[in-house]
C-alpha cells in the first residue's frame, strides 16, 4: 500500500515510517503545516514528496493515510482522507470531543474505507498472554484490575501536551485512552462509570499532568487507572486479580515491546514467557487484515471512540467531583 503521513510528528519519525516499511508498504509523502519541516522530515526519512497542504496528496495516488498531527486536527484530516477513498490509521485520542470522533468513524464507514486507531499496547506480548490466561480461566472470577501508567514525558515532547487545551493536551486524553483500550482488549468490555481526581505537579500549565480514577464495569469488575507525566522513576504495570489467581504485569505500558508477567496462585509464582515484537508493526499487520476483510485485532474507529469516551468521562468526573457514566457509543453512532 502507498501511505501518506499527515503530521511531521515525533511518533511518525520514531516509529511509524519504519513500521510501514516493515510490512512492505511505501511512504509516499509527508504533510506538515510548515513546508520547511515537511522537507526536513522527508529528507531525513527518505520520503519522495514533502507537502505543505494535505489537499495535494490525492494526486499522488495513495491508498492509506496515517494521521498524527495534534489531536484537534485529526477530524479534518480523517474526513479529507475518507472523502478521497483512503484507509485511515489515526492516532489516539481520535479527537477532542465525542461528536468529532463519531463524525470521523461515520465518514470512514460511508466511504467504505477501513479506519484504525493506533492503540498499540493491545499488541504487546504481556497483554496478549494476559488475555490468553484470562480466557483460559487461570484467574477464576475476575474481581479487579490496576493500571500504573505514570511516566516521564520526555523533554522533546514537553510542548502542546502540557499547555494547549485546544490541541487536546493533558495527561488524561494522552494516556487514559491507552488504559481504556488495554483493559477493553483484556476484558472485552469498557467501563460504564468512573470517579476521578486530577492534579498538576507543576510540569503542565492550565492542564492536568497527573490523574487517578476508578472505573466500574457492567460485569462488576472495578479497575484503578493512574496516568502521569512527571514521575521519572515510576514503573508501569497492569495487574488482574481474580478469585483463583493474579497476573502481575510490569513495565508493559510502553512504546517498546516490553514487560514481564507473573502468575501468582495457590501453587506459587510462575514467570510466564511473553512474545516480543514491534507493536506498531503489529498494528499495521492487523490493519492489513482488516482491509482484506479477514479477522483482525486492530483497534478500529469504534474502539477509538470508546477509549475517548472513557477519557472524557474521567475529565468530567474530576472537574465535577462526582461519578460520571461513560457515554453509550452505540447510541452515539446510531444517532
List contacts with ligand NDP (CB under 6 A): 7-11, 32-34, 37, 68-71, 91-92, 118, 120, 157, 159, 174, 255
Evaluate whether 210 touches 228 at the Cβ level (below 8 Å). Answer: yes
Q: Which three cell numbers stand for residue 169?
A: 493536551
Evaluate whether 122 touches 306 at the Cβ level (below 8 Å). Answer: no
Query: Quick one: 7 or 257, whose CB is closer to ligand NDP?
Result: 7
- CA gap 48, 60 in Å, rounded: 11
Query: Quick one: 9 or 133, whose CB is closer to ligand NDP?
Result: 9
Query: Quick one: 58 or 159, whose CB is closer to ligand NDP?
Result: 159
Give the closest residue to 146 by CA, choosing from 231, 48, 254, 235.
235
Query: Quick one: 153 or 221, whose CB is closer to ligand NDP?
Result: 153
What is residue 174's three-state secondary structure?
helix
Residue 113 Cα distances to 11, 76, 83, 329, angstroms: 23, 16, 10, 20
Q: N- to C-terminal Cα distance for the chain?
A: 34
Query: What is the bridge-based pairing of β-strands 237-242 and 245-250?
Result: antiparallel
Q: Where are the alpha helices (DSSP H) in 84-142?
A: 98-111, 125-135
Least distance between ligand NDP and beta carbon 321 (Å)? 27
Evaluate whether 118 touches 304 at the Cβ level (below 8 Å). Answer: no
Query: Quick one: 199 or 255, whose CB is closer to ligand NDP?
Result: 255
Query: Quick one: 92 or 226, whose CB is closer to ligand NDP?
Result: 92
Residue 227 Cα distances to 15, 123, 177, angstroms: 22, 20, 10
Least distance between ligand NDP and beta carbon 333 (Å)? 22
Least distance between ligand NDP and beta carbon 298 (Å)? 13
Least distance between ligand NDP and beta carbon 34 (Å)? 5
Query: Quick one: 78 or 133, whose CB is closer to ligand NDP?
Result: 78
- CA gap 240, 262 in Å, rounded: 11
What residues contact residue 254 under an 8 Å CB cut-off, 6+ apart? 124, 236
Query: Quick one: 120 or 288, whose CB is closer to ligand NDP?
Result: 120
Least distance between ligand NDP and beta carbon 322 (Å)? 27
Query: What is the bridge-based pairing of β-strands 210-217 and 64-67?
Result: unpaired
Query: Quick one: 9 or 213, whose CB is closer to ligand NDP?
Result: 9
Least distance between ligand NDP and beta carbon 10 (Å)? 3
Beta bridge partners of 272: 261
Least distance between ligand NDP and beta carbon 84 (Å)? 18
Least distance between ligand NDP and beta carbon 165 (Å)? 14
Least distance between ligand NDP and beta carbon 120 (Å)? 5
Amino acid at each position: 500500500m502507498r501511505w501518506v503521513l499527515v503530521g511531521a510528528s515525533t511518533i511518525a519519525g520514531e516509529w511509524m515510517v519504519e513500521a510501514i516499511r516493515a510490512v512492505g508498504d511505501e511512504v509516499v509523502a509527508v504533510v506538515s503545516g510548515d513546508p520547511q519541516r515537511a522537507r526536513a522530515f522527508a529528507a531525513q526519512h527518505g520520503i519522495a514528496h514533502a507537502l505543505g497542504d494535505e489537499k495535494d496528496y490525492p494526486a499522488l495516488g495513495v491508498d492509506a493515510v496515517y494521521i498524527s498531527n495534534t489531536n484537534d486536527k485529526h477530524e479534518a484530516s480523517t474526513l479529507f482522507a475518507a472523502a478521497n477513498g483512503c484507509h485511515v490509521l489515526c492516532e489516539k485520542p481520535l479527537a477532542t470531543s465525542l461528536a468529532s470522533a463519531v463524525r470521523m468513524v461515520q465518514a470512514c464507514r460511508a466511504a467504505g474505507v477501513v479506519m484504525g486507531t493506533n492503540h498499540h499496547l493491545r499488541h504487546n506480548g504481556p497483554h496478549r498472554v494476559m488475555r490468553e490466561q484470562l480466557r483460559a480461566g487461570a484467574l477464576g472470577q475476575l474481581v479487579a484490575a490496576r493500571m500504573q501508567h505514570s511516566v516521564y514525558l520526555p523533554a522533546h515532547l514537553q510542548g502542546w501536551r502540557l499547555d494547549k487545551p485546544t490541541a487536546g493536551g493533558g495527561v488524561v486524553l494522552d494516556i487514559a485512552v491507552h488504559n481504556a483500550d488495554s483493559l477493553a482488549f483484556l476484558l472485552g468490555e469498557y467501563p460504564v462509570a468512573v470517579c476521578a481526581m486530577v492534579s498538576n505537579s507543576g510540569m503542565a500549565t492550565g492542564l492536568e499532568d497527573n490523574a487517578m480514577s476508578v472505573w466500574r464495569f457492567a460485569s462488576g469488575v472495578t479497575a484503578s487507572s493512574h496516568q502521569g507525566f512527571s514521575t521519572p522513576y515510576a514503573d508501569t504495570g497492569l495487574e488482574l486479580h481474580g478469585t483463583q489467581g493474579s497476573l502481575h504485569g510490569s513495565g508493559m505500558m510502553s512504546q517498546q515491546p516490553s514487560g514481564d508477567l507473573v502468575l501468582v496462585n495457590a501453587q506459587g509464582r510462575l514467570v510466564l514467557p511473553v512474545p516480543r515484537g514491534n507493536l506498531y508493526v503489529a498494528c499495521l499487520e492487523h490493519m492489513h487484515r482488516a482491509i482484506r476483510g479477514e479477522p483482525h485485532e486492530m483497534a478500529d474507529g469504534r474502539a477509538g471512540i470508546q477509549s475517548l469516551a472513557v477519557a472524557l468521562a474521567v475529565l468530567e468526573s474530576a472537574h465535577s467531583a462526582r461519578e460520571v457514566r461513560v457515554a453509550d457509543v452505540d447510541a452515539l453512532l446510531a444517532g
